[in-house]
Chain A
Amino acid sequence: MMNLEINGKRREVADGRSIAGLLEDLELDPRLVVVELNRRIVRRDEIDDVALADGDQVEIVHFVGGG
């Protein structure tokens, strides 16, 4: 298992998981979220190809109500 920091909290993720795989684990629709990996935005068409690594910092954001 890899130790990642996802949205500010430590989480264990299976070795070799891609961003798309992580979103699947978290039951998140890739069309409704944006992922930042180590402060770099991962475009939607890249999420299958980008593999996670131990120690990665991941931010997963979406739109919420705001003014």
Chain B
Amino acid sequence: MIAALWHNLDYAASVILFCIGLYAVITKENLIKKFMGLNIMETAVFAFIVAIGVVEGGEAPIMGAGVEPPFINPLPQALILTGIVVALSTTALALSLIIRIWKQCGTIEADELREVE
């Protein structure tokens, strides 16, 4: 298994990144830090999907004079462009919710907010 994982090192790295993000989401009390953990998890999944499209020695999939195959798979890149916009949108909404929570409760620490409730 370790040998097989060695070949898929990029995928393994994104799993580690995913777990780092999850750790932050679970343990951090500050809502902004919690959300940064979520952003790290998003990045991990995006990195994984982009890595699927890699071809060894491949060039960017922009056709024109003087470029030779193999090319990198364009589909995952297109997907992740969409994914990034989705992540940005979620972040914007989360931050505005945090602004409102701060204004109403005067704190953005999850443990203190539980007391406020």
A and B bind: no
Q: Which B residues have a C-beta under 8 Å from some C-beta of A?
A: none
Q: Which A residues have a C-beta under 8 Å from some C-beta of B?
A: none
